[in-house]
Amino acid sequence: RPDQVKVVAVSKTKPVSLLREVYDAGHRCFGENYVQEIVEKAPQLPEDIEWHFIGHLQSNKVKTLINGVPNLAMVETVDDEKIANHLDRAVGNLGRKPLKVLVQVNTSGEETKSGVEPSGCLELAKHVIENCCNLEFSGLMTIGNIDYTSTPENFKIEMGSTIVRIGSTIFGAREYPKKQTN
């Protein structure tokens, strides 16, 4: 149902000033791919923002993420038990309310994409539910078929997605810093 769809404004590589403009226009849910970016941006923006971490999470960055973003609402990329356990411990050590998580499933079969294989999805979800009391299992984040890239948001909603990431449509094309040559 489209009325139950949450839009996550993906702001990777964009300056805080641009996020502030989107916030001032009324949007409250933002997503970041990199721990360093979300940890730098979150303290500079209002506390009522609902932050989603949407990038591949390494276990050595979990504590930085949890400690650095008090208003982190969700981690959408739990793809193995090790990450789930690290998140569970970090959230528990802070004494905060359980953190919502999505189990990331690579349904596209693309080797370059992260995510648990579909065959391991139930086992990982069960692990989070039964063993991670500081995490709240909130569903699956699937990586869809690349054939639908022309209208991905529409396709995601048609397929039943309740969380849709939109980046360049809101913020414009990403700009990557030019690599310096020596």
The C-alpha atoms of residue 115 and residue 142 are separated, in whole angstroms, by: 8
How many residues are recorded in the chain? 182
pLDDT of residue 154: 52
DSSP annotation string for 101-139: EEEEE--S--TTS-SB-GGGHHHHHHHHHHH-TTEEEEE
**What is the chain's pLDDT, residue by residue, as a tens digit (182 residues)?**
556 777 778 888 889 999 899 899 988 989 999 999 999 999 999 999 999 999 999 999 999 999 999 999 999 999 999 999 999 999 999 999 999 999 999 887 777 788 898 899 999 999 999 999 999 999 998 876 655 455 555 555 555 566 676 666 666 676 666 655 55
In 3D space, the residue among 64, 125, 53, 120 whose CA is nearest the CA of residue 90 turns out to be: 64
pLDDT of residue 146: 55
Give the start-to-end residue ranges of the domains of the chain. Answer: 2-171
pLDDT of residue 176: 63
Q: Domain 2-171 maps to which CATH number in 2.40.50.140, 1.10.3210.10, 3.20.20.10, 3.90.79.10?
A: 3.20.20.10
Cβ atoms of 11 and 30 closer than 8 Å: yes
In 3D space, the residue among 85, 42, 81 whose CA is nearest the CA of residue 62 turns out to be: 85
**pTM score over 0.95:** no
pLDDT of residue 131: 98
Q: How many CB atoms lie within 10 A of CB 148?
A: 13
* Structure letter (DSSP) for residue 167: -
Task: Tell me the angle at which helices 81-94 and 121-131 cross, rounded to the nearest 10 degrees.
Answer: 20
Report residue 93: phi and psi, to 5°.
-65, -30
pLDDT of residue 163: 65
